[in-house]
Amino acid sequence: MERKEKQEKIVNMFDEIASTYDLANRVLSFGIDVQWRKKGCDKAYEILGRKRIERIADVATGTGDLLLHWRDRAAKQGIEVANYVGIDPSVGMLEVARKKVDFADFVEGKAQELPLEDESTEIISISYGIRNVVDRKEALEEFHRALKPGGMVVILEFTKQAKKSLTAPLVDLYMKRILPAVGGLVSKNYAAYRYLPDSIEEFLTSEMLIEELEESGFEMRYVKPFSMGISTLFVAQKA
């Protein structure tokens, strides 16, 4: 399958599950993903160290979930953010996002072709979306282009384990059996949630993603695995 065709197939899949996406996320993570997202926001704000931010862009924003956390964590820390932007290639996801998040601008767009000006943004985030970007290195270079000097990129993603740990059988059971069954039941789209463990298995280890970020001009500032390494938070800064 050609790269363009593969990317279009992934986008169409997300169009199909948009209406049930939030519910499936909460059920599949037992709600823990909310804490992971908050941690990413807090750590980026802490490292950036600014009380006034011109723009935060959430890429592969889906239904806009992470934008709500960016706003709420900023308010809690007394940080003023002038503009929030959600970017996603899925029209179906953006329809849900616009109804849910009324303070942000939403734009149809790809991670590897960001509709953002050069050095215009302080923070770019992408949660559980980078593994779905076929041209990942192009996307990381785009993040670097659009960020202001010293700007932050925040990535939350399911990552493949470099070494099999004692908990690996439990993780495999959850990712390859329980997750597809429950996700398919909630969304009524079993194919979409069979794709998820396959996409993780084909994705990078944490060490490999860190290497790609550094090659794209970023300095790693924080890496934190969650829930036996199922999910990992990466926070990097434009050098």
Tokens of 116: 């953002």
As a whole-number percent, the residues of the chain with pLDDT over 70 amount to 73
Checking if the pLDDT of 207 tops 70, the result is yes
Calculate mean pLDDT across residues 221-228: 88
Instruction: Count CA within 13 A, CB hemisphere, residue 2.
Output: 3
Calculate mean pLDDT across residues 94-100: 94
9-13, 16-20, 34-38: which has the minimum mean pLDDT?
16-20
> What is residue 15's predicted lDDT score, i.e. its pLDDT?
67
For 29, 37, 92, 114, 183, the CA distances from 219, given in Å and listed in that order, are 29, 21, 34, 21, 35
Place of tokens 């060490």: 207
**Model-level pTM?**
0.83
Q: Which sign does the torsion angle of CA 68, 73, 78, 83 carry?
A: negative
For 85, 106, 113, 119, 156, the CA distances from 109, given in Å and listed in that order, are 11, 9, 7, 18, 19
In the three-class reduction of DSSP (H, G, I as helix; E, B as strand; rest coil), residue 149 is classed as strand
Q: Count how many residues are written for the chain.
A: 239
CA angle 19, 55, 237 (to 5 degrees): 100
> What is residue 134's predicted lDDT score, i.e. its pLDDT?
84
What DSSP string describes 188-219?
Answer: S-HHHHHHHHHHHHHS-BHHHHHHHHHHTTEE
Tokens of 205: 């280890």
For 128, 172, 228, the CA distances from 59, given in Å and listed in that order, are 10, 28, 26
What is the tens place of the pLDDT at every residue in 109-130? Answer: 999 999 999 999 999 999 988 8
What secondary structure letter does DSSP report for 178? Answer: I
Cα gap 162→167, rounded to integer Å: 13
What is the tens place of the pLDDT at every residue in 141-173? Answer: 999 999 999 999 999 987 766 556 666 676 666
Q: In what order do the strands lie in the sheet with 147-158?
A: 105-108, 80-88, 52-59, 121-127, 147-158, 231-238, 218-226
Phi-psi region of 64 (alpha: psi -120 to 50; beta: other; left: phi over 0): left
CA angle 216, 217, 222 (to 5 degrees): 100
10-19, 46-55, 93-102: which has the minimum mean pLDDT?
10-19
Calculate mean pLDDT across residues 127-136: 86
